[in-house]
Amino acid sequence: MATANHNLSNYDKNTIPNASNFRFGIVVSEWNHEVTDGLFKGAQEALLDCGALEDNILKWDVPGSFELIYGSKKMIERQVDAIIAIGCVIQGETKHFDFVCEGVTQGIKDLNVTSDTPVIFCVLTDNNMQQSLDRSGGKHGNKGTEAAIAAIKMAHLRRTF
């Protein structure tokens, strides 16, 4: 496994643009909330740590990961500089996992192609709950933190070019 024994959530603030002038949207799936709550916490803490103002972070909850697409699309209308779509899909016994993962991936990709607002994909697609917990504040760090850093960099790119 690529992330075995690695915490990928460490970042150097000196290499990250100051986020104080950016507005961020975070759309969070309520499904598997014990994971998505951790991802949100990691994202929020990283944004604040890099200078984002609490009032400039807008959070919306949606029922599941598939609904992240519509929530992110509506969030674009709020004129934020970047959006983080947070979800968690865990492999089960049916094809539902494949359909949801493919749909969410393609939907977020489509938003990035058709909109001027970057949408960061922070959807865990793991084989079991423990893998997701390990990546939402556990032994492998927090993918929410990584998504926040990506959002800051993409917001900066959006405003610069």
Active site residues: 96
Which residue type does 50 have?
Answer: C
Integer-rounded Cα Rg, in Å, for the chain is 15
**Dihedrals phi, psi of 10, to nearest 5 degrees:** -80, 140
Closest CA to 40 of 16, 18, 21, 58: 58
The helix (H) or strand (E) run that includes residue 158 is helix 143-160
Q: Are 84 and 25 in contact (CB under 8 A)?
A: yes
